[in-house]
Structure 1
Amino acid sequence: MQQQRVYVVDDDQGMLDSTVWLLESVGLQAIPYTSGQAFLDNYSETLPACVLLDIRMPGMGGLAVQDALRERGSQLPIIFVSAHADVPIVVRAFRGGAVDFIEKPYNEQLLLDSVQRALRLNQRPSASSPQTAEVQERLTQLTSRERDVLLPLVQGYSNREIAEQLGVSVKTVDLYRSRVMKRMQATSLPALVGMAIGVGLIEPFKLQAR
């Protein structure tokens, strides 16, 4: 059986080394690159693989690398990692076909689980996938007020802006936001945005301007 490989693209050498060590500790072949261009010049799609791609890098950033891969017709699943995640960036990443978006510093098991899912994929899950059905089921469990908070939240509005829209206090929005995250089983805002896009709750091309 061919060893599965993970391309790790990150300009932070310390983060790169620790991620490579983590992946190799579970038997994966980790191939490191410190720049997006170096990765694009050397990657191959002849073996099962996925890409762990940092968003912010000198020169060519992660989103630009994603665009370049799409232009080449690449089918490599992409997992973005970033310490600087805001909703427009997350939505653009998912709109471009990313399979996950993980915030730094990441939980090691969360990252490994995401990599294993990505390696099983040739493309993003379809709308009829079991994962999407699970998210739909969680949505039905939200109260009307929780849904009122969920929609502007994944569109990129701040808690204060949501409070103004709903005519409630910021503290109340904080409470409902916490409940939404728990009911949706979302470990982060990027994860929640990914769910919303996956089930068609929000239109990726209509974002709150920043």
Structure 2
Amino acid sequence: MTENSDYRPVVYLIDDDTGMLESTAWLLESMDIPCRTFPDGAQFLEAVHPDMTGCILLDVRMPGMGGLNVQQALKEQHCELPVILISGHADVPMVKRAFRGGATDFIEKPFNEQELLDVVQQALEEDRRVHERRAYRREVEARFAALTRRERDLVEPLARGLRSREIAEELGVGARTVELYRGRVFQRLQINNLAELVQLCVVAGIIDPYQIDINP
């Protein structure tokens, strides 16, 4: 799986403190990290869409909808971007609630600039890995979708470790036909061996990795 050159992360900053918002944006942009700023949670939630990449830097205490409520709303919208919560008045219950809600990290104001940059970079790296896994799965699913019906019939028995003779009996065809279609399956899926087929089937959710019995 190779790095996706289309990945373009953005740090989404949500804070009602204009000065903090501007200074944080300046810091990130000085390190070539693109960002978008929002003065409150409601405006940010209106801008959320499924194709967003990057991470969210979210103030806890804001008028109207606070950061923890925004975090909950993001979960309800199935937004899986890493969330970093920030607060100048943190307490133990607040921090616990943040992490139970899935926060990636929690930092207190005033924060050290390097600390903030480190936390943001870690969150962006986490999101990049998730993005690449999703892109790879879509690619794998597209390969399987290109198979003919007969070729698809062969995939699961092969991945389960059945021999050609066993597959032929299961599908009601000749063993030579199975060998012919096996070659076509490998070609269309762009693989060279059974181990690679098993890997693709696991990625696509076709088989359970704990129920694989590969014959020697």
- Stretch of structure 1 that moved more, 35-44 or 50-59: 35-44
2:38 partner letter: Y
Cα offset for 1:120? 1.7
TM-score, scaled to structure 2? 0.55
Residue 76 (structure 1) aligned to one of 65, 73, 81? 81
1:72 partner letter: Q
CA distance in 1 between partners of 2:37 and 2:61 (Å): 16
Cα offset for 1:46? 1.5
Residue 114 (structure 1) aligned to one of 115, 119, 133? 119
Relative to structure 1, the CA distance from residue 118 to residue 103 in structure 2 (aligned partners, 3 Å threshold; closer, same or farther) is same
Q: Is the Cα contact below 8 Å between 1:81 and 1:101 reproduced in 2?
A: yes
The aligned residue for residue 9 of structure 2 is 4
Task: Report the number of matched residues.
Answer: 123
CA distance in 1 between partners of 2:25 and 2:38 (Å): 10
CA distance in 2 between partners of 1:9 and 1:96 (Å): 17
Identity rate of aligned residues, in percent? 55
1:23 partner letter: L
1:45-194 alignment runs, 5 A limit: 45-122=50-127
Query: Would you say 1:33 and 2:45 are equivalent positions?
Result: no
CA distance in 1 between partners of 2:50 and 2:114 (Å): 26
Q: Is the Cα contact below 8 Å between 1:51 and 1:77 reproduced in 2?
A: yes
**Structure 2 segments unaligned to the other structure (5+ residues):** 129-216
Aligned-pair Cα RMSD in Å:
1.5
CA distance in 2 between partners of 1:122 and 1:105 (Å): 25
CA distance in 2 between partners of 1:26 and 1:80 (Å): 21
Cα offset for 1:44? 3.2
Cα offset for 1:121? 1.7
- Name the one with the larger helix percent: 2
Max Rg structure: 2
Residue 49 (structure 2) aligned to one of 32, 41, 44? 44
Q: After the TM superposition, which segments of 4 or more aligned residues of structure 1 sit over 2 Å from their partners?
A: none
SS at match of 2:80: coil
CA distance in 2 between partners of 1:27 and 1:43 (Å): 22
